[in-house]
Each structure stands twice: as C-alpha cells, then as structure tokens.
Structure 1
C-alpha cells in the first residue's frame, strides 16, 4: 500500500503555530510597552492624595490641598448602591470593554470635529486618564486619542475594581472637592457609607460640570430628576440644607497642631477633636465672663495617662479673633511659672533626706540676690506662720519655707535636676534665677510644665509626649525630644509629693473649704501658681488617668486684676476636670501610696517612709539661728526716725559695735551714723554676729 505524505497539512500546522507565537509575542510586547504608561498614571493618582490629619477616632481634622489646589482623601468604603448608580450614568458597559467604547469613541470625536463640544461619552477609564493627565480643559482630538491609549494601558495592568476605586477617589464634585470620600465629608458632613440615595444622586449629578452643578446648587437641584430617571432611581428630590464643613472651624481645630513638625502622611494623631472643641469653648466662655479682670489670653493642655498622649492642646480661645495674642499658641509661650515650681523643689528635698513631717520656720527672712542686695520673700497673704511642716508649707504654698527648702537642696543640685534629669532648656542661664526659682521666676510654657508634672502620677517616670500614634516623642520649639522614657526620681519620693498635693484638708487654711480647686472626687491632686503682680495664673492637676494644665494671662504681659492660680486658672481647671471625669478617659484609678508610712505625733498624722528616724528627720531643717532680725547684709536707709528692731530666738545680751546694749529677747536701736554696724547677740550656749549697712536717704 502506498505511503501517504501530508505535506499540505504540516504546512498549515506550522503556520498556525507561528501565528499564535506572533500574537503572544505581540501581546507581550504590548503589555511590556504599556507598563511605563500605567505606572505614570498610578504615580499621578498617588500624588493627588492630600495630607490628612486625623484624630484618635479617625475624624479628619483638616486635609491640605494637593498640588492642583484640590482637597482629596481616599474613601475607606464606598456603598455598592453608589457604584451601581454611578455606572448607570457614566459607563453602563464598564465591565465589558477594554477602556474604550468604540461606538461612543467615534461619536465623541465626531462631536469635537463638528461643534467643538466636550466630546462626551468617555468611559470611566478614559475619564480617569483625563483627570490624571490634567486634560479637563483641553478637549482636542489628540488628547482624546492619548486618553484612550492610557485607558487601554490601565485596563491591561489594573483590575476593574482598582480602576473604579481610583475613579471614585479622583472624580470632581465641586468646591475643590475631589473624590467621594472628601465630597461626602464636605457637602454632607458624613462618611460615604452613611449617604442616603438622594445624597448619592446629588453627588453623581455634579459629575461633568462640578463647578456649577455641585450639591446644593440651583443647577444640581434642577437636573436631579432627569439624572434619577436616567439611572432608574425612584427617589424624588426633597429640598435639604447642605451642611458644608466650615473651613474656618477646621482651621481652628488644627491651629495649635501647626506648631509641631508633623512629618507624616496621613497623620494619625492622639488628639481628641470633640474634646478639644468642648474645652476651647470652656476657655472662651470663661474669658468672655472675665471682662473686669483684664485678661485676654489662656491655654489648656490635657494629657492621657500613663501613656502621656496629648488629648487636647488649646493655645487660643479663638484663633480667628483680632484680639492681641489670639493668633499665638500660648500653650507654647514661656511664662513665669509661679508656685508650680515648688513640687519639684520638695521632691529634691525628700530625695536628699527631708520628709513631709520635717519642721521648717515660716518667718521673716532675707536672702541675697544676684545684685548683692537682700530680698525679703512674703507669703501671698502677708502672714508668717512660725514653725510648720514641709507638708503644710507645700499644701499652703508658703514662700519662705520654699526658699529655705531650695537652700537645703542646694542650687547646683537643683540646676542639675532641671538641666540633666528633666533636660529642660531655660530661657536664660539658671544661675540668673538663683533662689528666685522658689518664688516662681523660672519661665516655662504650659505644655512643657504639664509634661514635667506627669512624673508625679507616673511615679517618677518621665515618658515621651505622644502626638503621633506611630511615633512616641514630639518636638516643639521650647522642648528637646524625649525619645524614651526616663526614671527621673524614685517612686517613693514622688508618692510623698503626690500625697501632699492630693491633701485638700491641709490646704484649707490658704484656699478655703470650698473653692475652684474642690471636686466631688477623691483621686486628684493639684498645684496652683501666680506670678508676680498677677501676670500669670496657673493650675496643674491630675489623676492617675489624665492631667489638665491651665494658664491665664495676657500675651503682652500686662497684669490681670488680682486673678490668682485659684480664682483664674482654677475655675477653668475645675470645669475641664469635670469634663474629663465624665469622659471615657476616667478609669477611676486610685493613686498608689504603697511606700508611704503614716506617723502619729500629738494626735496628728504625718507621712514619711518606712525606716525613717522620725525624731532626727523632724528637726533636720529647723532654723537654729539666734538672731531673727535684722538679717546679715540688710541695707537700711538712715533718717532721724530710723529704728532697727532687734529680735532673738531667746533672751540674749545685745551688743552694737561691741558695746553692750541690753539683755532682752526683743529690743531696738536708733542709729545715728552711716556705714556698717556690727550687731551681736550672746546667750549662755552660743553667740551670733550680723552686719547691716546704713545709707543716707540723700
């Protein structure tokens, strides 16, 4: 049987394979060749997203305009109904074409040639390419073809889901709002998932001519019925009030945050926007009602403990106001801190060996200031209380004991505590303040001071302040960055300070039974401060769960009318603390005083530490000076009426320039000449000498 050779069939098979290979190679080349095109579009899409600042709950505080001047933020979830209505209006065959609808394409190009119109009939993929290429205002045949090529490239490299999402986030809806997420928040003050069908249709109606057909515009209202009919929606238009997000209120929400170097996108912050708004209103209300007190400015800081997260920072009651200082973030402006410095002084004294039950003299006292002159500190009420405990002295914010306690601590030691332990950067060298630190001469801003106060509820640990959730530690102009938590004091000593600051009963003498510092709760502690001549009013208070710091004053440094830390900042502090106690941030956490030991003496209870030598430490700082007045170095003006009181701790022999005067506890001398006078007192056990200086009144 003859052998058959199928030469013709083999030739066909080879040709078929060649064609398939050619198609595959061609498609591969097309795919590879369009990668740069698709990448270019994707990069343009990503660059359109505006920088977002979101609070701890995800609320957008204020988006910044992108490089094209539009506000755009990606939508987390888009309702399925919105996408259905969108595709019915813009691109019914979206899932069936490769970026271009050929029939619509021909019709659109013909329209451009015939009437110079917009062309219309573009697919969603083409519209996406047009927006990202920036061709909205340049409707030419060439651009139409370029957009079609880009659309085809997108279809090759992206899924339909990705393309639709990109379009939803880039489409224009009017008023410089780009994307469904930003448009929903701006026009309806809600997330896309909460939109009603009417609101969805109002947004869809804006497409194509957003500058004149944005939601709420007359054209949008007029076209709504025809658009609803076109997308087969039976929703009837009902006139509603468009609740646009107020740009001015948004700017107010981020006014203070602009003081920080927030290098993030998006910025997920620890700030509570709702709480901040409520607290700003508290500040605004109090300042409005304090017209007779000559006070224009204030600041409030709220921290979540123990994490040290910044919940609220208010540096101006109304950043939009034209009042002096309204445009300043006063929470970051250094001011004299008054008596709020005292807890840190007593903390160092306890570390050195003193205790809350240690006795100290509250009496007339002088110390030399940097100029060489004597300075006489007075208490706020002008009274001296004699021998008191450090507990009583701190509770009632007594000035003379604070100065003496700082002397006991030693200025070099306290300078190291501020500079090296707290890493505080003062406005001028600490040596210029000297013992004046105890009287509130040191300047700090409210945020820094509030941060330092966290060492008491956090039991000796200074943690970084956190503003960005992803980055603990924040940078502000007056502060260094604290990158990691640092133990700045043993908890035994911070517990002693907190125990005193939480004791409102001992503070009754100075602040009264009921005041702005009184709250119907037990787990809180606080310290007030008033700078000289009522320039600044401070209150810093805390629980284990949160801290509230308040400052009142004037940005131009003019004095207030007798507003103290209690009557000024204290009233605002009370209202903000009440807000915090009724918030979810209050966990009713009690203070821990596990290292504190009670000592009973003559029926009263004092606090110390286990292992204390109570008798020795009680008299550790008691003043044993024999001469109480005058003081060594006093300079007195001489006249024919000058009388120098001579006061000793016990009856003594008094000598003036080595001449015996009298044996007495108290007497006086009437000098007649200028110059240095030596005054000596002698008892059975000791002798003491002071020098005073008399100068002519001329």
Structure 2
C-alpha cells in the first residue's frame, strides 16, 4: 500500500505537465496565428515604392487605404522615447495590455462611463490595422486584447514600436513617421527636432483636425510640451506655406514627375532598371527640343533607351511635360501605336538577305504599277518623287527609297513577311496584316515606340530577341507585345549586313546631306528614320553596341506637323541623347562586329556580302528590265481633245499603235483620236514588247 501513493503522485504530475505543455502549444499556435494575421495586414499597408537601378525613389503610390505609407526600419530613439512617455509609460513592462488600466476601463464601462481610454501602444496598433478605432464596445476590447497579447508573444518591443510608428495616421494622406516628417517638416524622421516630434504626437488623437497644418495643433502641442518639459515656439503655418509643403510632398511621392511612366503600371514594381537621373536629363532634352519644334506644330514626343547586352530599359519617357494639364501631356506616348514610316525597312531587307539578296543586288528604281484591292491603279513614289534607275539595295536602304523597298518586299513575299512579324517577332498588328499588304513597305504599319525599339534590339544582340528587363528581370507592361521572348530571330551574318548599311553615312548623303544629326564624331551609330504620311509622325531608331535609342515626335491628337520628317524632328533629339549617353557610365566604346561578312570589289566599288556568294548571279536577282518602261499594261487614260500619252522604252525602238507606225526613239508621243483599247508595241533589234492601254471619256 505504501508504494501506490508515490506512483499516483507521479501520474498526476505527469498529467499536469502534459496539460501545461498542451496549453502552451495551444497558446503558442493560437497567438502565432493572430500575430501573423496582424503582421500580414501591416505588410499590405505599405506603399510599394518604385526605385530606380541606383535605389533612388521614382514614385511612392498611395496604399490600399489611400495613404502614403513609407516604412522606416529603425525609428529614432528620441521619437520612441517621447511617444512612450505620452502614450504608454509601461510599454516595456506589459504583455500587450496593461492589467491595471484594463481593470480601470472595465470598471468605467460597468458604470456607464464613455471615457474608457486605456489602450497600450500595442492595442492601438491592433486598432489601426483592424480599422476598429471607432469601435469601443466590450467585445471589440476583448478581441483587441487577444491580438495585442499575440503580437507581444511573437514580436520584440522594438518591432512593435516600428510597426506602430509606420502605421499611425498623421493626416493629409500621411501614414507613418516617414511620410509625416516629409510632409510637415520636409525632413527625414531621424532629423526631427523635439518640437517637430511634439507637434506630430499632438496630431495622433485627431489627425484631420490637429495636424501641424492646422491652428489647433498649437493648442494641443503646448500642454503636451509642458508635460514632457520641452520648449515649444508658438508658430502658425500660413496657407501659402501649407500649399507649398503639400506641393513638395507631391513632388516627393512622384519624384518630380520622373515616374510618370510608372504610376499606372498594371502591377507594382519595387525595383526598376531605370536610371532616374538619366531619365530626368533625357526628359529635359525632349522638352527643350519640343519647345523649338512648337513653331512646326510638333508638341509631343517620347524616348526609349535600352542598355545592352542585358536588354535593360535605362530611360522611358512618354511625355516631356507630365506635370502639365495641357491636352496630350498626360498621355504616355511611348505606348501609343502610330504608323512607323520607314523604320520597318531594315526588317524587310533583313528578310531579303536571308532569301539570297545582298547589299550589292541591283533593283530598278522606276515607276511600277500595282492594282490595289479597290481595283484602282497605284504607282508608288519615293519621298522626293524621283526615280533613280538601277540602284543597289545598299543604296536603297541608306537613302530610304520606297520603290526598291516595295520590290524587295515582293521578292520576300507578303505571306513570308507576315509570318516573320507575327511568329518570329511576336508582333500584334492593330489591323489584319492583309489590310496593309505592300503598304507595309510605305510605312503604314502601326506600332508604339517601346515595342518598335524592342524589336530593333535584334540588330544589337546578334539576331537574338532577348527578354526586355524593366522590373528586375520581369516586364512591367502587360500589353499586346510579349517582351519576355528569348529566341534567335536572324543569323548573325545577315544582321551584320544590315548594321553595315545603317552605319554608312556616306551612301545616304543624297537624302540626309553631308552634315546631319546622325554625324557624331567618334560614334559609329546605326540609324534608321521614319516619317508617316502627311508628317503625322517623326521617328528615329539608332543604336551602338552599348544601347538602342528610339525617339518619336508628333502630336498626341494625331494632327499633322509642318513638314517635320525623321531627321530634323526626332533626329535632333536622338543626337542630343546620344551625346549625353556617350559620356555616361553606360558607354564602353564597343564596336560593331563585321567578321561574318566580307568586302566585295565590283566594278571599282566596294560592297559587302558573304563568303561563297555568286556575285554576278546575286547582283542580277531582282533586275526587272522590260523593254517598255511607260505606260504600263492596263493603264487607263482620260480621253480628251488634247490627250497625249508619253511612250518610253529602255532603248531606241520603233513604236506602233494598233499596228500603225508612230515614231522611232527611246521616247515618243502618241495622240489618241478615239476611245477604247489601244495596242502598243515597241520593236527593238533583239526583242519586241506589247501592252494594252485604255482610253475612256470618264476616269474610272
């Protein structure tokens, strides 16, 4: 019998210990769940600050509550000291609730008193994060106490102080000590004076009515300063000073409008690849040049700068004056699709080179007739309305000739080029590509500047279309364009042929002159300009191995400019930006590689091709050499009393109309005498050519 009692005691002790452990585990996990819930809400309340590549602030958007919440990781000791003296003297001693204050509050509630304030800093933090500041019911008090105890069980006192200081509201959309310090005192929290801190502490009970911009703040601050034995000057903030400080805070949260392009991102981005200092300088360049172009009715512009080899966006400017309320200034024109003009031509010639053409291949720059979908005749023209006869593709691309580009696109094949745009590049056209047809070569295709500049990076990346980094390693913009592709678009050799042409300033002298905005001493840049129909858009995409720069100039309302083409419009802006970048940390003086192509000497001139080329055959691949140059088969003329039809041939011929001899020579004039179909024949020594034209009394 004597041995049974110790055994029972041991069993009882074991049960008690297990119960205590179980209770401890329940307490631990229950409080952990509640603590995590509060901390998660705290984390959600932080404004997601967008920073540049150098960790400079680009923008601070308001949080889900509409407040600017900039979290400080380590609040100043002085602020913490004065805060505790005012709000919670026993902060370092209680477990989240002050038992004595809680009992006092319970007694007051039992006798019907409404003044039951007894919350610790931890309880106040819970109120803020649960949005229950106005709920003073007994049930809510119990819930707040449970949350407060839970936080205290899993967070240090310093962490709780930080969370409180970052969460407390100070009025005027300023949540937390950092935003309040910046708004009211244009200061960092660590630099606040004792008087500044007193004025902020006086704000806490009623932030909308007693914040430092209000006269009532002085009335609340004075007794608090006396209580804490801190001298306080009686100062009143004027309306003008208040307005100025609010404007300064607006600039602080929007970083002087340098983050205009990032404020409306489809998803938050904490760290971008943007260089905010460079972005600001380029925006100034754009603004300065647009001021000069205003007399040409050009008011808006956009710039994109992409750094290689990482394909990181260094600068993205969609408006020169985002702070302006003038129509169009609040539109991000870097993302607005517009007709891209001749900037599409390098891609057409690239596909031509893939299919066997070379820079030395000849093409006839002359009048051609095409029948468009409506049945009408279409005669493509060059920008100066002149034809140059046989020219090389090198010359045609260097001088941006339209007619040879159309012939090259014909050679490539429309379906092949459609496939290249949609499947290789991933381009999403605004209209079905079949609606553009050969108009693609004339610049009718639409794209936005960011997308177009992105596609041009294949010429800087050995034919690879790499992911475009804007938000860390991810794309910030989720529009039609897939910026996350990583695939080879073209062979390096064909890329080098394009780069050789676009870096050649001599061959393009006819269009651009001896001196132009592309001539930057010591900088061998590849450049392509573009101008849309009737001067609605001025484009330039230019690049060196270190970066690609795209510029657009026009009007957000799509009104026409006064004869502003690519070179004097966007070209001048591009020139100034390249000069800036040339002396930046991003310029390494890297040079284009041309080791996959070779020089070809042909008839005392140097051209470029590939090893193994059959030069003679390749040179003649596109030559179209009909005997009759004009008119064209099926041309229709209006028959009038003085109608004259000019007949042109490649060489001297004998001309016949309806088998009736007219004249000899490379050119003759035929004067019709009746309406209807007329058969025209040119007879040379070695060949004969026939066409039929039509004369009508009314133009079809």
2:576 alignment counterpart: 575
Once the two structures are superposed, what CA deviation does each residue of 1:551-577 show, in whole Å capped at 9, x if it has no partner? Answer: 222344332111111122222222333
Once the two structures are superposed, what CA deviation does each residue of 1:601-626 show, in whole Å capped at 9, x if it has no partner? Answer: 45543222223233332333233222
1:622 alignment counterpart: 623
Q: Aligned runs of 1:403-442 on 2, under 5 Å?
A: 403-442=406-445
For 1:184 and 1:686, locate their aligned partners in 2 and report how far apart those are by CA, in whole Å: 90
1:176 aligns with 2:177: no
1:502 aligns with 2:499: no
1:363 aligns with 2:369: no
Among 261, 266, 272, the alignment partner of 2:266 is 261
1:48 aligns with 2:48: no
Check conservation: 1:347, 1:494, Cα contact below 8 A. yes
Check conservation: 2:57, 2:255, Cα contact below 8 A. no
Check conservation: 2:59, 2:263, Cα contact below 8 A. no
The change in CA–CA distance for 1:396 and 1:185 in structure 2 (over 3 A counts) is: farther
For 2:316 and 2:619, locate their aligned partners in 1 and report how far apart those are by CA, in whole Å: 42
Once the two structures are superposed, what CA deviation does each residue of 1:245-302 show, in whole Å capped at 9, x if it has no partner? Answer: 338946955544466532x5x5433334444344334333333333332233332222
The change in CA–CA distance for 1:613 and 1:34 in structure 2 (over 3 A counts) is: closer
| 3-state SS, counterpart of residue 167 of structure 1 | helix
The change in CA–CA distance for 1:355 and 1:227 in structure 2 (over 3 A counts) is: farther
The change in CA–CA distance for 1:131 and 1:671 in structure 2 (over 3 A counts) is: same
For 1:271 and 1:15, locate their aligned partners in 2 and report how far apart those are by CA, in whole Å: 68
The unaligned stretches of length 5 or more in structure 1 are none
Among 351, 354, 369, the alignment partner of 1:351 is 354
| 3-state SS, counterpart of residue 292 of structure 1 | helix
1:163 alignment counterpart: 160
1:535 alignment counterpart: 536
For 1:12 and 1:553, locate their aligned partners in 2 and report how far apart those are by CA, in whole Å: 92
The CA deviation at 1:485 is 0.8
For 1:50 and 1:441, locate their aligned partners in 2 and report how far apart those are by CA, in whole Å: 43
1:128 aligns with 2:133: no
The RMSD of aligned alpha carbons is: 3.8
The CA deviation at 1:152 is 2.3
The CA deviation at 1:536 is 1.5
| 3-state SS, counterpart of residue 268 of structure 1 | coil
1:99 alignment counterpart: 96
| 3-state SS, counterpart of residue 540 of structure 1 | strand
1:279 alignment counterpart: 282
For 1:502 and 1:232, locate their aligned partners in 2 and report how far apart those are by CA, in whole Å: 74
For 1:218 and 1:377, locate their aligned partners in 2 and report how far apart those are by CA, in whole Å: 74
Q: Aligned runs of 1:440-459 on 2, under 5 Å?
A: 440-459=443-462
For 1:56 and 1:124, locate their aligned partners in 2 and report how far apart those are by CA, in whole Å: 37
1:612 alignment counterpart: 613
Bigger shift: residues 660-669 or 538-547: 660-669
1:390 aligns with 2:393: yes
1:656 alignment counterpart: 657
1:684 alignment counterpart: 685
| 3-state SS, counterpart of residue 550 of structure 2 | strand
Check conservation: 1:300, 1:331, Cα contact below 8 A. yes
The change in CA–CA distance for 1:89 and 1:377 in structure 2 (over 3 A counts) is: same
The change in CA–CA distance for 1:576 and 1:164 in structure 2 (over 3 A counts) is: same
Once the two structures are superposed, what CA deviation does each residue of 1:121-155 show, in whole Å capped at 9, x if it has no partner? Answer: 64322221222232333456765555344322322
Among 244, 249, 258, the alignment partner of 1:244 is 249
Q: Aligned runs of 1:53-72 on 2, under 5 Å?
A: 53-72=50-69
1:587 aligns with 2:588: yes
For 2:19 and 2:566, locate their aligned partners in 1 and report how far apart those are by CA, in whole Å: 86
For 1:463 and 1:22, locate their aligned partners in 2 and report how far apart those are by CA, in whole Å: 62
For 2:433 and 2:7, locate their aligned partners in 1 and report how far apart those are by CA, in whole Å: 99
For 1:634 and 1:281, locate their aligned partners in 2 and report how far apart those are by CA, in whole Å: 53
The change in CA–CA distance for 1:573 and 1:77 in structure 2 (over 3 A counts) is: farther
Check conservation: 1:129, 1:151, Cα contact below 8 A. yes
Check conservation: 1:370, 1:432, Cα contact below 8 A. no
1:514 alignment counterpart: 515
Check conservation: 2:474, 2:484, Cα contact below 8 A. no
1:548 alignment counterpart: 549
The CA deviation at 1:461 is 1.0
The CA deviation at 1:497 is 0.8
For 2:602 and 2:230, locate their aligned partners in 1 and report how far apart those are by CA, in whole Å: 85
The change in CA–CA distance for 1:116 and 1:632 in structure 2 (over 3 A counts) is: farther
The change in CA–CA distance for 1:244 and 1:38 in structure 2 (over 3 A counts) is: same
For 1:620 and 1:39, locate their aligned partners in 2 and report how far apart those are by CA, in whole Å: 73
Among 341, 344, 350, the alignment partner of 1:341 is 344
Bigger shift: residues 198-207 or 400-409: 198-207
2:469 alignment counterpart: 466
The unaligned stretches of length 5 or more in structure 2 are none
